[in-house]
Amino acid sequence: MLDPAGRRSPFPAWAGVACAVLLAACSGGAASGPPALHWYVFNEQSGSFAAAAKRCSAESGGAYRVDMVPLPTAADQQRSQLVRRLAAHDPAIDLVGMDVIWVPEFAAAGWILPWKGDDARRALRDRLPSAAATARFRGRVWAAPLTANTQLLWYRSDRVTRPPATWDQMIRMAEALGDSGTIQVQGARYEGLTVFFTSLLASAGGRILAPGDTSVALPTGPTERALGVMERLARSPAADPALSTSREDQGRLAFEAGRSSFMVNYTYVWPSARADAPEVARHMAWAPWPSVIPGRPSRVTVGGIDLGVGAFTRHPRLAFQAALCLASVKSQRTAVTRGGLPPTDSLLYDDPDVRAVFPFADLLRATLRTAVQRARTPLYTDVSLAVMDVLHPLVDIDSVADVPRLRRAVRRALRSEGLR
């Protein structure tokens, strides 16, 4: 008998068989245990997803075991890894934690299974309308909304007596404050820039794609107003000098350092400031995202994580059961209390535990109730890249000339013709 290196083994052939039998006997519990359902999702640092997986495994009564497979932190790397494996029909992907913008792409490609009947109704029960909309595509339900996300305006109450109602007002207030009046936004060439533009455009009454999401919209008036805000901010002394490379976390750190009086960002900045910059947190207040048009409420982009069932799973029935548990009210409450992740269940915003974590729960729920979707197309990644290509850097924006440029770029994206 030869060993793996090609040498003669000192053990007879029957010894290997005996060892194999003994190993099978010793590991019999694992072999005869419940099926393992692999949940591919971003590596949530608080452990709330891991806790939900453990609880759902226990509550299944031995029907299944949920094993988390952590994805990279960066969303584009998460998507790349999932796309490669799902395109290869990988049966090991039972459950998929998806950024809400991936649902149309994954559904159209046949990489996730549609939800039907009572499962579909339970997946969307009591969900915020904007969260429920992220799970739908072409008239079918494709996911269970797990967590939501959207931006608020954060400001220094010791420097500002009343929060600004509009972007124009905020820029003027920041300029009057001088060096401490900097406004933190997302200006780097990445998805956050597209989100920023989408929220401004929706607040001005426009959208990137027309209803049906198959053709370009970008109406002239709203698009010029949205670009006008970006143009004015970028050329204002209120803009951060690092605007062209600024993402959410750079804005958070600048705000925590005391260099800024205004910031549009997600709710994670609140617990972060309380933990890392308590003196700043003591004067940190929140308000609705500023309006583009005076007297007209802002409309902010919705984000979050949806839970889908992999199309090539060997255990579809069990996977749907597990998904409902993982996206349940219990799991969402854990995600809030441990990880500070906003729930998709509307009723949870009245829960005392949730309100203890989010003292701004009413504002957050109100913002999510009117939140807008990003373009609901399988080609969303190309559309977003087209928007970034035209709008970065913000300091070069021309609010009039860039409207037709944007239309041409998005139209090319919908035709899969590339950026140029």
Q: Which fold has domain 151-300+379-414?
A: D-Maltodextrin-Binding Protein; domain 2 (3.40.190)
- For residue 74, the model assigns a pLDDT of 87
Residues 239 and 245 sit within 8 Å (Cβ to Cβ): no
Residues 262 and 254 sit within 8 Å (Cβ to Cβ): no
CA–CA–CA angle 251, 256, 262 (5° rounding): 55
CA 191 to chain centre: 10
Residues 56 and 49 sit within 8 Å (Cβ to Cβ): no
DSSP state of 262: E
* In the chain, domain spans: 33-149+302-369, 151-300+379-414
Q: Quickly tell me which residue has 């003027």 as its tokens.
A: 172
Residues of the chain with pLDDT under 70: 1-31, 419-420
Question: Is 33-149+302-369's fold the same as 151-300+379-414's?
Answer: yes
Separation between Cα atoms, residue 275 and residue 341, nearest integer Å? 16
Tens digit of each residue's pLDDT (9 = 90 or more) over 112-166: 999 999 999 999 999 999 999 999 999 999 999 999 999 999 999 999 999 999 9
- For residue 52, the model assigns a pLDDT of 98
Tens digit of each residue's pLDDT (9 = 90 or more) over 32-47: 799 999 999 999 999 9
Q: Enter the tokens of residue 216.
A: 């370009």
- For residue 419, the model assigns a pLDDT of 60
Secondary structure of residue 303 in the 3-state scheme:
strand
**pTM as predicted:** 0.91
Q: Which fold has domain 33-149+302-369?
A: D-Maltodextrin-Binding Protein; domain 2 (3.40.190)
